[in-house]
Amino acid sequence: MLLLTSISSRAQRPSSTLPMASDEKVFLLGADSMSINKLPDGSEVRRVVSKVVFRHKGALMYCDLAIHKVSSNALEAYGNVKIVQGDTVTVTGDTLFYFGNTRLAKVMGKVVTLRDRKRSVTSTRIEYDMASGIAYYPNKGKILDAENTLTSQVGYYDTRTKISTYYKDVKLVNPKYTLTTDTLVYNSITKIADFKSPTKVISKDGTLVAKNGSYNTETGESLFRTRTTIDNPDYTLTGDSITFDNLSKKGYAKGKVVLVSKKDDTILNGDFGIYNGKKGFSKVWGHPLMRTVVSKDTLYMTADTLYSIEIPKDSLSKDSTSKAIASNGSKQQALGLTTSNKSQTPSDTTNRPKQLIGYKNVLVYKRDLQSKCDSLVYHSLDSNITFFKKPIIWTGKYQLEADTILAQLVQQKLRTMYLRAKSFVIAQDTLINFNQVKGRRITASFDDSTRLQRVFVEGNGQSIYFAANEQNKPMGMNRVECAKMTLNFKNNQVHRIQFVGQPDGKFIPPQGIKPIDKELEGFSWRIKEKPSKEEIFTKANFKPMPLPVVKESEKNKPPANKTLSKEVLKTKLKPKKKKL
């Protein structure tokens, strides 16, 4: 018996000769059979078979067969492996390597699953640190909870804090959205996903692209710390940093903000931007710039602040702005800023008419119209533009001024301007003379080519126009005063004039014209103030994309893949005659 190196026994419980249970040692609770091998160094290895149960630090481990290395406090388990830690975590697999001193469990198999109360982790290999509660899978894994399915190549899951970290080909699928990235930290309790690599979120509301940020997968609230783009069917919002609430459709962007409205080809740029999707309200400030397509041309506008407001069709009549001005309403009401205070449902935003508003220090440039004013409102419903607070407008060779101007566009072309209070129209002719009209109210009509066609003056009308013959030689100057008058233009020249009431006028021949006679009171030709596109870009700190430069040597260079003609091929392939 003293020479025996192996002991075998069959029992449902461990023999009384085995050491007593200890929290520090892996302890065998039961098995159908057990054999003990004594190694030359005196250490003991136990082989237990069928209905095997071990306990260590309050955790239970089950299997069909186990090799228990007593001295190293390690365990190898095979077949129907199961770890139960308290009433929260369960791990199942085919094979287990457990190191009792560090409490690290390595579980492998065709399907290895770790479950807690609300989620499960599945892979072909899971390493579970039972001391810290952190599970790690080095192979492709999947995490499931009530709402989300997450897959990645590598992952860490903290069963205590419920915080997970995932790497490589990370994909989070939710009924409302799909998130893909390369690195993701996800908190299963707060439902917040943090990412620091290129990330895309796709939902029915649109697409979000970012590199660094936090996303609440339950509420849709998000914070993006690097340049981010939010794209949906109605708009695209881009900024160096963005906060966005997907439920309320509210967003705030900072740093090189670009807001693109897809409905009307309008782009807003600025340093800061606010967007409210449910109310259809956008605001951009800090070097703001608006670009919108009007009649195959681009209208550029800059101001201290730019607004875009979508409003229900039944809340704004075609002449609402004019009524607001006529009734001496406040500027905020006239500008339409108060309309954004009414809460709207998402369905109300579909195909709404829109107001584009420039507030304070406005500059406008379009190929056939330039303006400088305090504020303006553009109504997409009727294509009207209202200029506030002593605006000045240049169109072609004409300069128009008043306290307020309403410009009406038909098919996106300027057709009529209504000048209200202290109205003044100046037109420079080919002889560098200035035809002038002023009065309390002026209505100016334009033809299809945006040339001045007719001017109707009401109230204290005054005019100066220069006459020329068919050879374009000066004939003299007419100076007329009348309560009401209509001036008809042809080829930028006064063609005919009609008066209502008794006019008071005089004709002055060229030699009798004095400098003081050539100007009405208040005349000021302010052509140097006319904004250019470059000036607007400079004020908005905007740098347009440069056009590609074509080298002179490549202008006439044929395409590389151009097919040679048959004649050229014959010439190139024709054999040369050899000299005898």
CATH number for the domain harbouring residue 101: 2.60.450.10
Of 106, 122, 138, which residue is a domain's last?
138
Show the tokens assigned to 284: 């951009």
580 CB-contact burial (10 Å; exposed 0-12 / middle 13-18 / buried 19+): exposed
Establish if 544 belongs to a structural domain: no
The residue range of the domain holding 440 is 407-515+529-539
Is the CB of residue 252 less than 8 Å from the CB of residue 349?
A: no
Residue 23 inside a domain? The answer is yes
Chain centre to alpha carbon of residue 451: 40
Nearest to 14 by CA among 44, 43, 53, 42: 53
Q: Which residue type, as a one-letter code, is found at position 408?
A: Q
What integer pLDDT is reported at residue 409 of this predicted model? 82
62 found inside a domain: yes
* Secondary element (H or E) of residue 238: strand 235-239
Report the C-alpha dihedral over residues 26, 31, 33, 39, rounded to 10 degrees.
-10
Residue in the block written with tokens 């029915």: 204
Q: Would you state the structure tokens that stand for residue 484, as one six-digit string?
A: 């009401």
Residue pair 157/144 in contact (Cβ under 8 Å)? The answer is no
At which of 93, 112, 138 does a domain end?
138
DSSP reduced 3-state for 20: coil
- Phi–psi pair at 334, nearest 5 degrees: -65, -35
Residue 272: inside a domain? no
**Does residue 412 lie in a domain region?**
yes
Residue 382 within any structural domain of the chain: no
Tell me the helix, strand and coil percentages in the chain, rounded to 5: 10, 55, 35
User: pTM for the whole thing?
Assistant: 0.70
Residue 160 CB burial class (10 angstroms; 0-12, 13-18, ≥19)? exposed
Asked whether residue 352 is domain-assigned, the answer is: no
User: How many domains does the structure of the chain reveal?
Assistant: 2
pLDDT at 431: 80
Q: At 574, is the secondary structure helix, strand, or coil?
A: coil
Average pLDDT per run of 10 along the chain, which is 580 residues long? Answer: 35 40 80 90 89 94 95 94 93 96 96 92 96 94 88 94 92 89 90 88 84 85 88 86 85 91 84 87 92 80 91 53 39 44 41 81 90 90 86 90 90 86 87 88 86 87 85 85 86 77 87 90 92 92 66 53 44 45
β-sheet bridge partners, residue 299: 292
Q: Is residue 178 part of a domain?
A: no
Could you tell me the CA-to-CA distances from 227 to 210, 254, 276 in Å, in that order? 6, 9, 20
pLDDT of residue 5: 36
Domain boundary among 138, 168, 189: 138
Residue 326 CB contacts under 8 Å (≥ 6 apart), including other chains: none
